Amino acid sequence: MSDPNNRFPVDWHGTTILAIRKGGKVVLAGDGQVSMGDTVMKGTARKVRPLGKGDVIAGFAGATADAMTLFERLEAKLEQYPNQLMRAAVELAKDWRTDRFLRRLEALMIVADKEVTLVLTGNGDVLEPDGGVVGIGSGGNYALAAGKALMDGDLGAEEIARKAMGIAAEICVYTNDNIVVEMLDA
């Protein structure tokens, strides 16, 4: 995908973020690859992190500066609406869709707390996926499929996330096997 003025390549799908909710745990896993076109610029980026007081975890696919701006805005919403991730996410999505500055930000986010996992988009979407598994980014569907296949077995949430991300890294050229995991008790 390119921007309308063709000034620079925009690939906001060039990563893999996966959320797994199972066995009283919620896990977010992200790969470490940062690509610009067909060049790997960095292999150790951290795309998942705790937010606020550590009771929310988040991961992003998209432009890093845009995602950091959105993380900051979400943290402010979480301060305004403590222990209400859904409310904070909806308020952020409203701002993201209507604010002249924010609506130009290109990123997708997965956010989770002990109760809910959400996908946030710049279109104003706040989606709560079914089944305890969600993936975003270029390798998101590969990780999602692998995660869903592993959910019925005996593996815990972290093990499923790591295995599914490993599978995605084998398939997607924009995903590496330098996996960062954040986890919360659900």
Q: Which residues are catalytic?
A: 15
Answer yes or no: are the C-beta atoms of 107 and 61 closer than 8 Å: yes
**CA nearest neighbour of 175 among 60, 48, 75, 40:** 40
Q: Name the DSSP letter for residue 177.
A: S
Closest CA to 88 of 59, 114, 126: 126
Dump strand ranges (E) for the chain.
Answer: 16-22, 25-30, 34-36, 39-42, 48-51, 56-62, 107-112, 117-120, 126-127, 133-137, 180-185
Instruction: Report residue 143 as tokens.
Output: 């990780």
Q: Show the tokens assigned to 125.
A: 């979407």
* Closest by Cα among 152, 128, 163, 40 to 181: 163
Cα torsion 80, 64, 59, 98 to 10°: value is 50
